[in-house]
């Protein structure tokens, strides 16, 4: 109710502030008997980890997860899975000069107004550091999806105005992690990386788009009328820090089409029912139809810039401020595993709800 | 859990099929003492009603709501508000030739696969007729918002490739209902109407975009980390039939900007804190900051067209089908009050959650 | 959240006041394909109906349920089941002399204090008339339980100090409905009926106990640590009007036993695992173990008596009042189907949760 | 949904097994600005701690709680409060001889049947060790209640057949913790302690009753029709390990009364409305009326006894087993703070829900 729980049957509740003692969470509703592959979970955390390349924040965190319950002899027991990740490299001093200043386009002002107080160190609860817990939950969800033949493939498809125009069918998803920006097109990836380096040197930041394709979803996931599958995926994406938009299937471009062009004709194929085109994005009437689910997520440029900015303090007095410390010039590379994690959480939740 | 309830503290649960006996719902968590203006509620229903103009479906429904509980001497009592709307003009015969056929880009196939059966008459539960209940709930929510100084203004901003390019500050929202397509720019409205007439004559349909502006929201609404205000608005919009995308504030366009351009500088104004620009769309860190909230919603073209289409039946055999009966060539004009209703439901829910 | 929804996966949300237009509800999460036996549902309502005998209230209601959605060709569709029951025999005049008076041990005062207003006619929402909706939901739940081999048997086991001392194994449950007080022991039933007639003639009321036995529950229902099966059954019972206590298995008497006496030894029987005794009441660690579930529910005497009582009005001024109209001298006979309905709702919910 | 979360607005989700690495939880929905008194929280844990006297289990645990988030400069921030308590004195060896044996009246069999596996060490998740987390949550809830003038007083009122017959008004609650059995009547406390020592020496266990009085509750808490205040308190109590019954106000004894005796006459007192008697137990129509709330909770004898018992193993084969290790001969003394904690959680939840 207070907004820190996601999911209905397969739920994750998270806690933790950016510069607190630890972050962590509880995964509840996980079926028993799931084999837990700790190396895989850690590898997912490493994809999100700060300091993984020169185009992301240089905060040094091992992001090692400690599981405290719910797993016995490497298998889930059906009981809640508690886990923590201790913060190791907080540099709270980087924030001391800004204790009383509202950083532009950050959540300092709104948290203060809502709660009457906040942990000013590194954004506290509003920091994207919280997403580390989502990746833990998403990794366990992926282990379940894998057993069900479902795979999720997110990738950076746009940085600033550099946009990957290829249809996703023409991409090799196995190349996504072959470069530090996580774009499966090597050439465009280079251009994106150069762009990010450029804005970073200028003390600035840049936005972008992550695309995601889900393969192998069975027919029947989604609970109309309100919990349509795409509505829950959309909410999941919009809950990620810095996200400003979500579209699936034909999306905003599809509004220009006529129904006669947009409709996906049903065809019979190998004894099953498929569609000829897939403008629907794998979801019809809020329920998966067995085709690929694909969607796009818009990320705004990171708010922390290394430039002087005008703002006000908590008394409403005009002042100037400037970012200090270690920050991402572009959130996209590290957001790819977060998008996948949230998609995985939605899919597993709806797999269980459909039973 | 089964997907027919929306909201956490102010909830609406709906029931009803397109061609069943009645639709209805229960609004729970409504504060006591709210003055119920039945004329206003009916006027909202009239904005959504079929048959209201020649560019919408000609199904004849009075859409008269009967309240059964929760209201005493014109005031809410704090007890659940039950209501029904009887279907009056079902023409189930229009669907008899298609009982066993999966209409392209409809939910026939996915409902059959998920539930093992469905009411084939007019799409049953998957029909947008269900949204009549949302408008009832939204109207009551609007009565509460009005007391809190909050107003919601949705309008058709795009039909096919005809797009309203003006900034919303340059529009006169009082003109929204002055034309049948609900675009506050009279000239563009005419062009849109002609476009819709054109596709209708061709037996086709067309998509579009609805924009929405919320004024007067207090600072503090939204429950991070998962129930961010824009995440809940986004889910609300994506739960509406035919919606394919949602963006708020700078949206998909904003990804091209640098942080230094995108950041909204705080300024002191009349003793309060405001922002100079509003790329954030009135929400920062998932919490409203007191600025206008604005967003855009993409609607695909209606799936029912008056043209022959290839498809399969429930046995997977190839067949042909063609729409019959009364349908909307473009869903936008009638979707405007639905977008407002869903926005109102989210806002009231978060008003209560913030207490 | 506002307290009018029961259940997690199989939910019922109810609305309606005692003397309003109609009562009703929405059953959501009902599996598709359940054959709906309308005669059975009505027969359950008849067991709860006012006017069924001379020892219950003489209000004349047919309590005819109208289903509005969710059922197609006599089968559930997996979509929400909306239903209403119109009030036919409201006599609001019976309450006009008491508009401003707080009836002792009724909810007049607490509703006024909580909501700032109330429907004074017949107790409004606080009236046990609301339970008519629970019986509709419970009847559908029973249809599902029957398919799963589960049966529920509630009966009046105590009226005032007249107590049925026999072990439930020695009772013939088929005799429960053979008398108007619903006690399977004919001799004791007569004594109970005489007792109720006696208090009724004195303008007074009397309490009692309903016992309930559930047979055929599979092993595995219940979700520890908070949603233990008996905790959810207990809450269900305590939510019924006039209930003051709940105990299951050995209950309050069992506290006197030693562990060596109380423990239920496991034994092997026909290839399955059973227990020799059943002090556990069919539930161990919050999860059903396959043995009979049995429990007892205490009902206080009805608050409305035909005698002069001292009380205060809404201004806090001392006054006198006296009940008028048609009331139950003892709630037990009509509460038997309500106890069964609530038990059925819990069982079906946990059947689905256990999948 | 999986049963490890309690509450609606003020929620606690717990994790942890008896002999796992740690137990812990997340408290969500706690208002911001609450002063956290760590000494008080620890003192509450000490009241529940094993090894506190010779009549409880001798397992040695410091039960030190580590808070990981949600608290900044000793105040709650409105963000989720994560905490853990590491297990220090697991002696898993005590359970190795019973890995495959179903201990009578324990949850071994039902957990195995439900989840297909279990942590056999000390009962795993089904152990009452989990309640340590409830006491942490309850202690924070008590800090909030104290600010609202509400106090909770639980005490042992019966051990076996030794029953405290005094009315609670004649007890001195400040004496509850003055003896190791937590009965405010010193003389009876001695008798109870002797009784417990006796059964312990016999390798046996004994049940009992805890009574609880809540003072200072404002009028208006409780959400009818399903979430009546006593229904939520009842569920809270029934969710505690070993509880078999719950009654409030006049309870099971009250069923023998006539309405004319049972009704609580309203009287005017110091400008407020009070009742002359309080058979209602402080709750009318499911809503608190400002009078004392009082209730009784029945605990069965602990299942682990130091005597040879017949049982079966997981293959259903007959076998013998005997308890080993450190166990409570009577759960009552340590259950007193657990009853208070659960009551506190319900009260705070309903305080917030009533806003």
- pLDDT tens digits, one per residue of A74-110: 999 999 999 999 999 877 677 777 788 999 999 999 9
The residue whose two tokens read 């105040």 is: D75
Higher pLDDT, A93 or C10: C10
**Cα C98 to Cα C18, C140, C313, D268, distances in angstroms:** 15, 38, 9, 18
What secondary structure letter does DSSP report for A34? P
Query: pLDDT-based confidence at C197, cuts 50/70/90?
Result: very high
**Residue A15 to residue D115, Cβ atoms within 8 A:** no
pLDDT for the residue numbered C326: 78
In 3D space, the residue among A329, A64, A45 whose CA is nearest the CA of residue A192 turns out to be: A329
**Residue B72 to residue C119, Cβ atoms within 8 A:** yes
Concatenating the DSSP letter of every residue in D149-185 gives T-EEEEEEEEETTEE--S-GGGS-GGGGGGSTT--SS
**CA triple B200-B203-B209, angle to 5 deg:** 50
Q: Which residue of B has its CA nearest to A2?
A: B223
pLDDT for the residue numbered A173: 98
What crossing angle do the helices spanning C332-353 and C229-238 adopt, rounded to 10°? 150
Give B215's contacts (C-beta < 8 A, 6+ positions apart): B150, B151, B152, B153, B292
Distance between C130 CA and the closest CA of chain B, angstroms: 11
pLDDT for the residue numbered C27: 98
Q: Which residue of C has its CA nearest to D14?
A: C225
CA atoms within 13 A on the CB side of D282: 22
**Residue D300 to residue C266, Cβ atoms within 8 A:** no
CA B249 – CA B284 distance, rounded (Å): 10
CA C240 – CA C335 distance, rounded (Å): 9
Distance between C127 CA and the closest CA of chain D, angstroms: 9
From the number of C-beta atoms within 10 Å of its C-beta (0-12, 13-18, 19+), residue C86 rates as middle
What secondary structure letter does DSSP report for B15? E
CA C284 – CA B122 distance, rounded (Å): 49
Residue B148: φ, ψ to 5°: -100, 10
Higher pLDDT, A1 or A14: A14
Residue A116: φ, ψ to 5°: 80, 0
Distance of CA D319 to the CA centre of its chain: 34
Of A125, A234, A268, the CB nearest to B234: A234
Residue A36's beta-bridge partner residues? none
CB atoms within 10 A of CB C175: 15
Q: What is the pLDDT of residues B306-330, one digit of tens each?
A: 999 999 999 999 999 987 777 899 9
Give chain B's residues under pLDDT 50: none
| Pairs of CB atoms within 8 A across A/D | 172
Q: Which helix (H) or strand (E) holds C82?
A: strand C81-86
pLDDT for the residue numbered A195: 98
Which tokens go with B215?
């004024």
Query: Do C96 and B38 touch, CB atoms closer than 8 A?
Result: no
Cis peptide before A276 (omega within 30 of 0): no
Query: Do C1 and B29 touch, CB atoms closer than 8 A?
Result: yes
Mean pLDDT of chain C: 95
Distance between D37 CA and the closest CA of chain A, angstroms: 18
Give A20's contacts (C-beta < 8 A, 6+ positions apart): A87, A119, A124, D68, D69
CATH class of C5-354: alpha beta
CA C43 – CA C71 distance, rounded (Å): 19
pLDDT for the residue numbered B98: 73
In 3D space, the residue among B2, B123, B124 whose CA is nearest the CA of residue C30 turns out to be: B2
Residue C210's beta-bridge partner residues? C156, C297
The residue whose two tokens read 């949705």 is: B154
CA D215 – CA D222 distance, rounded (Å): 16
**Residue D244 to residue C251, Cβ atoms within 8 A:** yes
D contact test, residue of A24, A25, A36, A79 with most D CBs within 10 A: A79
CA D3 – CA C305 distance, rounded (Å): 42
CB atoms within 10 A of CB B15: 31
Q: What is the pLDDT of residues A247-258, one digit of tens each?
A: 999 999 999 999
Distance between D306 CA and the closest CA of chain C, angstroms: 9
Residue A277: φ, ψ to 5°: -110, 175
Length of chain D: 355
Q: Is the pLDDT of residue A309 over 80?
A: yes
Helix, strand, coil distribution of chain A in percent, nearest 5: 35, 25, 45
**Residue C263 to residue D287, Cβ atoms within 8 A:** no
Of A28, A67, A117, the CB nearest to D2: A28
Distance between B290 CA and the closest CA of chain C, angstroms: 27
Concatenating the DSSP letter of every residue in C11-22 gives EEEEE--TTSSE
Distance of CA D50 to the CA centre of its chain: 15
From the number of C-beta atoms within 10 Å of its C-beta (0-12, 13-18, 19+), residue D97 rates as exposed
Higher pLDDT, D94 or C336: C336
Question: Could you list the mean pLDDT of each consecutive 10-residue stretch along chain D, which spans 355 residues?
Answer: 95 96 98 98 96 90 96 97 92 74 95 92 92 98 98 98 97 98 98 98 97 98 98 98 98 98 95 96 98 98 95 94 85 98 98 95
Of C5, C11, C24, the CB nearest to B68: C24
**CA triple C254-C257-C260, angle to 5 deg:** 125
CB atoms within 10 A of CB B35: 10
**Residue A207 to residue B263, Cβ atoms within 8 A:** no
- Chain A hits for B234, CB-CB cut-off 8 Å, are 234-235, 238, 246
CA D342 – CA C211 distance, rounded (Å): 27
CB atoms within 10 A of CB D67: 20
Q: What is the pLDDT of residues A230-288, one digit of tens each?
A: 999 999 999 999 999 999 999 999 999 999 999 999 999 988 999 999 999 999 999 99
C contact test, residue of B9, B30, B82 with most C CBs within 10 A: B82
What crossing angle do the helices spanning A332-353 and A38-48 adopt, rounded to 10°? 140
Residue C23: φ, ψ to 5°: -110, 165
What secondary structure letter does DSSP report for D169? G
**Residue A105 to residue B279, Cβ atoms within 8 A:** yes
Q: Which residue of C has its CA nearest to D133?
A: C225
CA C274 – CA C183 distance, rounded (Å): 29
From the number of C-beta atoms within 10 Å of its C-beta (0-12, 13-18, 19+), residue D192 rates as buried
In 3D space, the residue among C147, C81, C141 whose CA is nearest the CA of residue C348 turns out to be: C141
Q: What is the CA radius of gyration of chain B?
A: 21
CA C227 – CA D238 distance, rounded (Å): 9
Q: Which residue of B has its CA nearest to C72?
A: B119
**Residue D23 to residue A75, Cβ atoms within 8 A:** no
What crossing angle do the helices spanning A332-353 and A229-238 adopt, rounded to 10°? 150
Q: Which residue of B has its CA nearest to C24?
A: B82
**Residue A69 to residue D17, Cβ atoms within 8 A:** yes
CA B155 – CA B137 distance, rounded (Å): 20
Residue A140: φ, ψ to 5°: -65, -40
ipTM computed for the complex: 0.98
pLDDT for the residue numbered A237: 98
List residues in chain D touching A: CB distance below 8 A.
Answer: 1-2, 4-5, 8-9, 11, 13-17, 20-26, 28-29, 32-33, 66-70, 72, 75, 77-82, 84, 114-119, 124-125
In 3D space, the residue among C76, B25, C259 whose CA is nearest the CA of residue D202 turns out to be: C259
**Residue C68 to residue B78, Cβ atoms within 8 A:** no
CA atoms within 13 A on the CB side of C164: 29
Which tokens go with B228?
């961010």
Q: Is the pLDDT of residue C84 over 80?
A: yes
What percentage of chain A exceeds 70 in pLDDT? Answer: 99
Distance between C93 CA and the closest CA of chain D, angstroms: 22
In 3D space, the residue among B65, B64, B14, B45 whose CA is nearest the CA of residue B239 turns out to be: B14
Strands (E), C160-265: 162-163, 208-215, 243-248
Residue A286: φ, ψ to 5°: 90, 5
- Cα dihedral sign for D101, D104, D108, D110? positive
- Chain D hits for A4, CB-CB cut-off 8 Å, are 26, 28, 79-80
Q: Region C44-60: what's the mean pLDDT?
A: 93
Query: pLDDT-based confidence at A151, cuts 50/70/90?
Result: very high
CA B282 – CA B97 distance, rounded (Å): 50
Of B104, B268, B284, the CB nearest to A110: B284
Q: What is the CA radius of gyration of chain C?
A: 21
The helix/strand/coil state of D342 is helix
pLDDT for the residue numbered B322: 84
Q: What is the pLDDT of residues A18-29, one digit of tens each?
A: 999 999 999 999
**Cα C289 to Cα A25, C216, C266, C267, D105, distances in angstroms:** 31, 10, 11, 13, 10
pLDDT for the residue numbered A216: 98
The helix/strand/coil state of C194 is helix
From the number of C-beta atoms within 10 Å of its C-beta (0-12, 13-18, 19+), residue C161 rates as exposed
In 3D space, the residue among A287, A349, A354 whose CA is nearest the CA of residue A144 turns out to be: A349
Give B53's contacts (C-beta < 8 A, 6+ positions apart): B180, B333
D contact test, residue of C164, C226, C288 with most D CBs within 10 A: C226
- Chain A hits for B275, CB-CB cut-off 8 Å, are 104
In 3D space, the residue among C172, C205, C200, C167 whose CA is nearest the CA of residue C186 turns out to be: C172
């Amino acid at each position: 109710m207070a907004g820190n729980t996601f999911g209905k049957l397969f739920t994750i509740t998270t806690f933790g502030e950016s510069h607190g003692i630890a972050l962590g969470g509880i995964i509840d509703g996980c079926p028993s008997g799931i084999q837990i592959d700790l190396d895989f979970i850690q590898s997912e955390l490493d994809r999100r980890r700060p300091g993984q390349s020169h185009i992301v924040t240089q905060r040094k965190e091992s992001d090692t997860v400690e599981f405290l319950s719910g797993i016995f002899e490497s298998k889930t027991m059906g009981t809640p899975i508690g886990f923590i990740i201790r913060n190791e490299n907080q540099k709270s001093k980087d924030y001391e000069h800004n204790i009383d200043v509202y950083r532009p386009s950050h959540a300092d002002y709104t948290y203060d107004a809502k709660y009457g107080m906040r942990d000013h160190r590194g954004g506290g609860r509003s920091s994207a550091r919280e997403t580390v817990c989502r990746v833990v939950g998403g990794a366990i969800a992926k282990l379940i999806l894998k057993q069900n033949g479902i795979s999720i493939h997110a990738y950076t498809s746009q940085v600033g105005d550099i946009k990957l125009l290829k249809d996703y069918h023409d991409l090799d998803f196995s190349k996504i992690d072959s470069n530090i920006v996580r774009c499966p097109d090597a050439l465009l990836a280079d251009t994106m990386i150069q762009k990010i380096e450029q804005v970073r040197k200028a003390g600035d930041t840049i936005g972008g788009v992550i695309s995601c394709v889900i393969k192998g979803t069975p027919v029947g996931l989604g609970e109309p009328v309100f919990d349509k599958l795409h509505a829950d995926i959309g909410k999941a994406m919009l809950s990620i820090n810095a996200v400003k938009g979500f579209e699936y299937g034909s999306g905003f471009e599809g509004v220009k089409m006529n129904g006669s062009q947009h409709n996906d004709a049903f065809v019979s194929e190998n004894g099953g029912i498929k569609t000829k085109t897939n403008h629907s994005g794998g979801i019809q009437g809020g329920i998966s139809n067995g085709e690929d689910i694909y969607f796009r997520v818009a990320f705004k440029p990171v708010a922390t810039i290394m430039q002087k900015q005008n703002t006000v303090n908590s008394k409403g007095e005009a002042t100037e401020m400037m970012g200090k410390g270690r920050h991402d010039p572009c959130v996209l590379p590290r957001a790819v595993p977060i998008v996948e994690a949230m998609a995985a959480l939605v899919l597993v939740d709806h797999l269980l709800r459909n039973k």
